[in-house]
Amino acid sequence: MRLTRPRAVPLLDPADIDLADPQLYAAGDPHAVWLALREEHPVVRQPLRDGRCFWSATRYHDVNEVLRDHTRFTSERGTLLSTLGVDDPAGGKMMAASDPPVHTALREPLSRAMSARAMRRWEPRIRRMVRRLLAPLADGAPWDLAAAAASFPMAFTGTLMGLPEADWPRLTRLTTMAVAPTDEEFREGRGTLVAAHHELFEYFADHLHATRSAADDSLVGFLREMAAGDRRLRQDELVYNCYSLLLGANVTTPHAVAGTVLAFIEEPAQYARLIADPHLVPRAIEEGLRWSSPANHFMRYTTMEVELSGVRIAPGQAVVAWLGSANRDRRAFADPFAFDVARSPNRHVAFGFGPHYCVGAPLARIALRILFEETVQNVAAFEHAGPVEHLASDFVAGVKRLPVSAQLRPGAARRLSAAGTPRAEGVS
Ligand code: HEM
């Protein structure tokens, strides 16, 4: 999705806007559309041609309200626009598609297992993975950063989940098919979404079967053994939650990386600030998350009549909280269309808000910190080396292709090529 900086509030008729159209995100200007909606129609009903409809909330405060209050806005019927109108079969079984108390029973043990403290032991391994990822920069040739970043989450989530490395490329592709089924590059036959879900569910069912009697200290093993309240998870619950962890990591993290580097290319002075003061890296990551907002939206259904920004919504309606829009709301962020690596405060909602706040956020933050620490240490500046291409997805603000050339810092070519040698690649 293009990360634009509209200069003025465009005049738009909500009847002409289709926020569910994946092409808007591949070739259009969603930030201009969201800006117009925030200012003129912060809560608006969008009917689709096939008779379904949903409400859009675009202001920061409303987005927080929708995500925060599960008693008025349930997750159990589905949380993505792609499932609009069909109750999610994973409702009440998968953490992301459940409400308390089921959600709490699943979330509490898992969030302890995925806390920043628990994740710290993975740091050396993630650093080796990052060095291997950046190694191709050593020869100075143009490099597709988006394609490389696409494989990054499997390197840490695949490792954490104990999934064989040979499966990582197919799993990466399947998760993108699940969020961008109409994108030409990811379309496989007519039923891409269903086919991707089917293959992923079958993959995890097989994996769980194959590892059932092995000692398994991976996250999958943890899910299998963990007590959700007073019981263990059933097979279907295990499959859904494995799928959700993989999807959560794979479809978001690469685009946080690509969106942040794209901002560095557009604003070289901001990247130069990082080189001058690498202590700014953690803040730059938060700004990169706000800026890229890899998850465009999450959806809820109303359980009762609700009011948002003065608009009444009947019970049983789908309400879409546009995170990408909330993260550019002038009511919450000073100069929201400026990319500022030292922004503070920065209460972005890229990881959501409330009970479903991203359980993978500690891991994602560690992985991004290591990646940008290594980048700042080795790269003096990035430049475009070809056209940028965006993913056709109403859910993921994705960059498919980002050809870059990098100007290296002194000693970087040696460091990077050493990291790419087979000996250094021994990452286990
Ligand atoms: C930059 C990276 C990431 C972004 C931007 C992101 C974004 C989000 C957001 C916005 C939510 C809230 C969903 C809702 O309100 O319904 C969420 C939840 C979730 N994320 Fe992430 N995520 C990222 C990385 C990860 C990683 C690395 C994992 C797993 C290893 C993960 C797994 C999950 C899961 C399982 C949930 C559901 C949590 C719940 O329902 O309590 N995410 N994520």
For residue range 258-301, what is the model confidence (pLDDT) as tens digits?
999 999 999 999 999 999 999 999 999 999 999 999 999 999 99
For residue 396, the CA-to-ligand 1 centroid distance in Å is 12
Question: Where is pLDDT greater, at 419 or 394?
Answer: 394
Looking at the chain, the whole-number percentage of residues with pLDDT higher than 70 is: 98
Contacts of 421 (CB under 8 A, 6+ apart): none
pLDDT at position 140 is 86
Question: Where is pLDDT greater, at 424 or 168?
Answer: 168
Residue 425 has pLDDT above 80, yes or no: no
Arithmetic mean of pLDDT over the chain: 95
pLDDT digits (tens, 9 = 90+) for 89-135: 999 999 999 999 999 999 999 999 999 999 999 999 999 999 999 99
pLDDT digits (tens, 9 = 90+) for 326-339: 999 999 999 999 99
Residue 428 has pLDDT above 50, yes or no: no
Q: Is residue 420 very low, low, confident or very high in pLDDT (cuts 50, 70, 90)?
A: confident
Say yes or no: CB of residue 66 within 6 Å of ligand 1: no
Cβ proximity of 282 and 266 under 8 Å = no
CA distance 373 to 284: 11
Average pLDDT of the residues in 396-411? 96
Average pLDDT of the residues in 411-417? 92
Q: Is residue 344 very low, low, confident or very high in pLDDT (cuts 50, 70, 90)?
A: very high
Domains, the chain, ordered by start = 14-425 (1.10.630.10)
Cis amide bond preceding 22, omega within 30: no
Atom 33, ligand 1: residue with shortest CA distance:
248
pLDDT at position 59 is 98
CA distance 114 to 323: 23
Residue 426 has pLDDT above 70, yes or no: no
223, 358, 369, best to mutate for ligand 1 pocket (most atoms within 8 Å of CB): 358
Atom 15, ligand 1: residue with shortest CA distance:
356
Residue 370 has pLDDT above 70, yes or no: yes
For residue 351, the CA-to-ligand 1 centroid distance in Å is 6
Q: Give, as one character, the DSSP assignment of residue 89.
A: T
Say yes or no: CB of residue 350 within 6 Å of ligand 1: yes
pLDDT at position 361 is 98
Residue 424 has pLDDT above 80, yes or no: no
For residue 348, the CA-to-ligand 1 centroid distance in Å is 14
Residue 421 has pLDDT above 60, yes or no: no
83, 252, 353, 368, best to mutate for ligand 1 pocket (most atoms within 8 Å of CB): 252
pLDDT digits (tens, 9 = 90+) for 187-229: 998 799 999 999 999 999 999 999 988 888 899 999 999 999 8
Long-range contacts of 82-91 (CB under 8 A, 24+ apart): 82/179, 82/181, 82/193, 82/394, 82/395, 83/299, 84/20, 84/48, 84/52, 84/54, 84/299, 84/318, 85/52, 85/318, 90/240, 90/244
The maximal CA–CA distance of the chain, rounded, in angstroms, is 63
